[in-house]
A and B are shown apart, each in its own frame.
Chain A
Amino acid sequence: KAGVTQTPRYLIKTRGQQVTLSCSPISGHRSVSWYQQTPGQGLQFLFEYFSETQRNKGNFPGRFSGRQFSNSRSEMNVSTLELGDSALYLCASSLAPQGNEKLFFGSGTQLSVL
């Protein structure tokens, strides 16, 4: 069974640009969550999608957005990039919405904003 796939693996952008990250969950998983990981703040929750609907949203500005498609694949978009957006962006999938569910993480997309 294939794991969670995130693309691209690495990205380098400049301030002001926008970026789209992709996540393909494990087959059969309908929930996809996104986290931002930085050395100083650890893993911070961005949002969760279940059956194409945003179920939960973290405390991030509106520049961060996401969506989920009918095949459960998800994308997140960051517009008007800032230096502080440099981080590892992790996607996790689960069978059902978060709670006591086991999360399966991808390897992440390392975003560097110059």
Chain B
Amino acid sequence: TQLLEQSPQFLSIQEGENLTVYCNSSSVFSSLQWYRQEPGEGPVLLVTVVTGGEVKKLKRLTFQFGDARKDSSLHITAAQPGDTGLYLCAGSNQAGTALIFGKGTTLSVSS
């Protein structure tokens, strides 16, 4: 069974700080997606990374896919209260079966 481990589970920081969230697996994924979920809503896709070593930037968010396609990270620069939410990574294996989700990192940014 493929598993995605996310760390840390909880993160509480002040506005302006930087942070990194990790998503690790012992399995290879053909792609990894990152979602953000706010209370009372469903997850919203932020980015998809496909190529090993790929780096994608979305304003203050930087996503990286590991060279071996087993891990990924999300780095947020100068966090803002609007970044508060549950960050989920989800992996797709090469057989194209259902996305497997990590349990998520709950981020709280206070002003």
Contacts and interface: CB of A to CB of B under 8 A. Distances in A.
A and B pair up: yes
Interface of A: 4, 33, 35, 41-45, 48, 56, 58, 90, 92, 97-100, 102-108
Contacts of A44: 101
Given A99-B31, A99-B92, 20 more contacts: A33-B98, A33-B99, A42-B101, A42-B103, A43-B43, A43-B88, A43-B101, A44-B101, A45-B99, A45-B100, A90-B43, A92-B42, A99-B30, A100-B50, A105-B42, A105-B43, A105-B44, A106-B42, A107-B40, A107-B42
B98 to A, nearest CB: 4
Interface in B53-111: 88, 90, 92, 96-104
B97 A98 contact: yes
Nearest 8 interchain pairs by C-beta: A105-B42, A42-B103, A99-B96, A43-B101, A45-B98, A56-B98, A100-B31, A105-B43
